[in-house]
Amino acid sequence: MKEYKIYRILLGEETAHSSDDNISDFQSARELLEIQPEPGIVLLDGLKGKKTSDRLKVFWELVELRESVEFCCAPIYLSRTMQQIDILVDGITGNIEERLPEAISILEKSVRISRDKLQDNHNLRMLAFMYVRGEEYSLSPVCSPFSQWIYSYPHMALLLDSSTKASKILRPEDLSGLERLRSFRFDTEMIMALRAVSFLEDHGYIAQDALVDRVRKCPKCNTGHLNYVDICPNCGSIDFNKKLMIHCFTCGHVAPDSDFRKNMSFVCPKCNTVLRHLGSDYDHPLESHECNNCGSKFIEPDVKADCLFCKTRSVPSDLTVVNIYSYKLSEKGSAAVRTGTMQMEVQLFDGRNNLKFNYFCSIVEWMREYRKRYSDEIFTMIGIKFSNLYEVETSVGEELYNKIMDEIIFRIRSMVRTTDITTSSAPDTFWILLPRTIFDNSKILAERIEQLNNMLEMKSENKIEITAKCFQIPTDESDMSAEKYLELFAEQL
Ligand SMILES: [Zn+2]
Ligand SMILES: [Zn+2]
Ligand SMILES: [Zn+2]
């Protein structure tokens, strides 16, 4: 077995782990990273972690380690348990020897991963983090009741690209107390981690393991701090009481029993009948609540959910239901780590006319407005989608796959005119905007693209499938955004 280094980051005097010849000590993560360390195990030691400032210190060391290519997936331990930090590390140990088997197994699996590929790809880093922790590793959500995200994946939040991380700008030294608290809660990153996890799930790189919880969120602001209020179904007031009601059989009057009491007997306040026998003179109706605001009587109050953040009141059935899962790395995710590529991404278009998706949508919207004024300014769009890419790649091998894809890409590119504009809305979905082109002509082009399917004679079971369809935004359209149209069109691909 290969010997691995054990690096201890000593943040103070209060060590919980004894010094050892096998352990090299450093004052900070930065000092450790400066020596360009070989792969190893990291132990954070020296602080008791009772004070928030101590925990913050440990937290920032962790951020620095996970940001680095060297330690983004490495086994990291704390020498003492620390509130809020525990969940971010691989474990707590006062004796690193005890954790060596698992730590070494993590390091051994890391050997197969190309560090360069991890550099600017946080998705791949997240997959690699799971991969090196073995097949049994399950990415668990962590609940933080006072946060706006409620459940997130803090391990993943630490692995986001540094350029997209708000925490990078908010170093602890330059923050006042309040901002420190904010940055420690790591909110922006937690929300981004949620998005990243759902991206990985949507693309099949990770798979649901267990359903951990279900939360409901405000449909307007998407936060989950809701106050369920019961209200009068008639006027909406929250001011009502549960009362014992009496129903007079003679006249049908319904009122609280206090209204019927007269001396020692029950007398209907409306028809003056003396009510003697329950069942023959009167009964207790199902209505057992009376509103103090409008006086109406009802069986059950209505229940509404008030958002504590944005104050929107919703019917419970309108709340956004979110299932919270733990995840395992899928076969596809594991392959992505081993090959260092997220296979589904296709670089179909490049160059000047290939726009970011939101710019493309703005142009479509501009052309739509232009067409309103000049009705002969028609334009059409072609959507292209690739299917089975990953499957084909695994069955025919990377080399042949790349050859095939290069050929397809070359042919499609050659069909695109210099005045056409292109974009991509997903790693496998592309759009061409064809100005001054009637539907029938772009239909011919779409058909020619689909004919490439026949060119792909492959011996494997799986076949790359290219779908190309022509679309037009209706001239009598409402206010629907271009993005929404493309979303609808994409469903037809
Ligand atoms: Zn809200
Ligand atoms: Zn009322
Ligand atoms: Zn009566």
pLDDT of residue 182: 43
Query: Residues 20-28: what's their mean pLDDT?
Result: 89
Ligand closest to 241 (CA) is 2
Query: Residues 272-284: what's their mean pLDDT?
Result: 93
Q: How far is the CA of 179 from the centre of ligand 1 (A)?
A: 23
Concatenating the DSSP letter of every residue in 308-332 gives: TTT--EE-GGGSEEEEEEEEEE-HH
Cα–Cα distance list, 160 to 24, 73, 118, 121, 192 (Å):
28, 12, 11, 8, 8
Under DSSP, is residue 210 helix (H, G, I), strand (E, B) or coil? strand
**Contacts (Cβ under 8 Å, ≥6 apart) of 369:** none
The model's pLDDT over 368-419, given as tens digits with 9 standing for 90+, comes to 888 888 888 899 999 999 988 866 876 787 788 888 888 899 999 899 888 8
The model's pLDDT over 100-113, given as tens digits with 9 standing for 90+, comes to 999 999 999 998 88
The model's pLDDT over 178-198, given as tens digits with 9 standing for 90+, comes to 444 444 557 788 888 998 898
User: Are the CB atoms for 62 and 89 separated by under 8 Å?
Assistant: yes
pLDDT of residue 210: 96
Element (H, E) at 338: helix 331-339
User: Mean of the per-residue pLDDT values for the chain?
Assistant: 87
pLDDT of residue 1: 57
Q: DSSP H helical segments within 133-186, as ranges?
A: 154-157, 166-169, 177-185
pLDDT of residue 181: 43
The model's pLDDT over 374-384, given as tens digits with 9 standing for 90+, comes to 888 899 999 99
Task: Quote the longest CA-to-CA distance of the chain.
Answer: 98
pLDDT of residue 185: 55
Q: How far is the CA of 231 from the centre of ligand 3 (A)?
A: 28
Query: Residues 464-488: what's their mean pLDDT?
Result: 86
Q: How far is the CA of 415 from the centre of ligand 1 (A)?
A: 48
Residue 119 pLDDT > 80: no
pLDDT of residue 180: 45
pLDDT of residue 390: 66
Instruction: Walk across the sheet containing 245-248 and list its strands.
Output: 254-256, 245-248, 282-283
CA atoms within 13 A of residue 69's CA, in its CB half-sphere:
13
Percent pLDDT > 70 in the chain is: 91
Q: How far is the CA of 385 from the centre of ligand 1 (A)?
A: 36
The model's pLDDT over 148-157, given as tens digits with 9 standing for 90+, comes to 888 999 999 9
Q: How far is the CA of 287 from the centre of ligand 2 (A)?
A: 13
Q: How far is the CA of 297 from the centre of ligand 2 (A)?
A: 8
Q: What phi-psi label fits residue 483: left (phi over 0), alpha (psi between -120 and 50 degrees) or beta? A: alpha
Closest CA to 152 of 204, 187, 203, 201: 187
Q: How far is the CA of 294 from the centre of ligand 3 (A)?
A: 21
**Contacts (Cβ under 8 Å, ≥6 apart) of 406:** none
pLDDT of residue 107: 94
Residue 3 pLDDT > 90: no
Residue 459 pLDDT > 80: no
pLDDT of residue 458: 65
Under DSSP, is residue 365 helix (H, G, I), strand (E, B) or coil? helix
pLDDT of residue 174: 46
Where in the sequence of the chain do the CATH 3.30.70.270 domains occur? 343-491
Instruction: pLDDT band for 67, please (50, 70, 90 cuts).
Output: confident
Residue 121 pLDDT > 80: no
Q: How far is the CA of 255 from the centre of ligand 2 (A)?
A: 15
Q: DSSP H helical segments within 5-88, as ranges?
A: 29-34, 52-67
Query: Residues 124-153: what's their mean pLDDT?
Result: 92
Instruction: pLDDT band for 344, please (50, 70, 90 cuts).
Output: low
Q: How far is the CA of 384 from the centre of ligand 1 (A)?
A: 37
Q: How far is the CA of 269 from the centre of ligand 3 (A)?
A: 7
Classify domain 343-491 at the CATH superfamily level.
Reverse transcriptase/Diguanylate cyclase domain (3.30.70.270)
User: Are the CB atoms for 420 and 435 separated by under 8 Å?
Assistant: yes
Q: How far is the CA of 277 from the centre of ligand 3 (A)?
A: 14
Residue 220 pLDDT > 80: yes
Ligand closest to 293 (CA) is 2
Query: Residues 287-304: what's their mean pLDDT?
Result: 92
- Tell me, rounded to whole angstroms, the distance of Cα 188 from its chain centroid: 12
Q: What are the structure tokens assigned to 69, written together?
A: 């290519």
The model's pLDDT over 162-177, given as tens digits with 9 standing for 90+, comes to 555 554 444 444 444 4
Q: Is the dihedral of CA 126, 113, 346, 368 positive or negative?
A: positive
Strand-strand pairing, 379-387 and 465-471 = antiparallel
Q: How far is the CA of 299 from the centre of ligand 2 (A)?
A: 13
Q: How far is the CA of 309 from the centre of ligand 1 (A)?
A: 5
Q: How far is the CA of 224 from the centre of ligand 1 (A)?
A: 8
Q: Which long-range contacts (CB under 8 A, 24 or more apart) does 363-371 make?
A: 363/421, 363/433, 364/433, 364/473, 364/482, 364/485, 364/486, 365/481, 365/482, 367/433, 367/435, 368/473, 368/477, 368/482, 371/475
Q: How far is the CA of 283 from the centre of ligand 1 (A)?
A: 44
User: Are the CB atoms for 431 and 412 separated by under 8 Å?
Assistant: no
The model's pLDDT over 316-331, given as tens digits with 9 standing for 90+, comes to 999 999 999 999 999 8
Alpha-carbon dihedral 11, 15, 21, 26, rounded to 10 degrees: 0
pLDDT of residue 165: 52
Q: How many CB atoms lie within 10 A of CB 484?
A: 11
Q: How far is the CA of 317 from the centre of ligand 1 (A)?
A: 15
Burial of residue 94, with CB atoms counted within 10 A of its CB: 0-12 exposed, 13-18 middle, 19 or more buried: middle
pLDDT of residue 179: 46
Q: What are the structure tokens assigned to 67, written together?
A: 């940001």
